[in-house]
Amino acid sequence: MAIEAGTGNDIDMLRVATSWLMRRAAGSVQQLSVDLQHAEFDPDCEEREEAVVLITATLAALGARGTLRQVSMQLGSFTMLPLGAWAAALSGLQQLSIAGKEGRISVSGDLRGLTALQSLELEDEDVQLAASTQLPPSLTHFKLSSSSYVGDSSGLAPQVRRLTLIAGLRTGMLAACSGRSLMLSAAAPPLTTAERL
């Protein structure tokens, strides 16, 4: 299932699409792609805020049905997406990819309830990870890419080290995490003892 905005009157289109998803298709959607890259919302930000509420409420409702496995989101300019308590409903989700353009992704709270999540990718101009953020131990692929990463990389390093399913984790990359990008995957070669932090 795909939702794409950018064709004019985008907030109305998003209202209709999310309403239909929750009423008619919630129990059958396994993959959801949301593309808001070219969406045009009212400059006063109320429509942007409503769009985020519509999307997070829809994702939570779809997740609660237990069929949603993959979510890919492309955010538009200056769209803020908080990934927090509402995400607990996504317990069956296996892949989550959120990419933005001049926006902000903020991750706060405990994501360990996403027990099936294997792949998490966060890419935007501004990615914020709260010190309280806990990554799910089921991850086999983790990508964090931001030109202005905000967060405590010292708190992220121990969490990433605990992701035991990412074999051969190159944790030395975390030292550069406050710069631009971090990508860890189960396909990485094994670490030697000298390489471990």
Q: Interior CA angle at 148 toward 126 and 104, to 5°?
A: 5
Q: What's the whole-model pTM score? A: 0.78
DSSP label at 19?
Answer: H
pLDDT at 31: 92
**pLDDT digit string (tens) for the chain, length 197 residues:** 666 665 567 888 889 989 988 888 778 889 999 888 877 776 666 887 888 889 889 999 888 888 899 999 888 766 677 888 888 889 999 999 988 877 678 887 788 889 999 999 888 877 777 777 788 888 888 887 775 555 555 556 666 666 666 654 444 444 344 444 555 555 444 444 333 33
In order of start, what are the domains of the chain with their CATH numbers?
2-195 (3.80.10)
Element at 50 (helix H, strand E): helix 46-64
Q: How many CB atoms lie within 10 A of CB 5?
A: 23
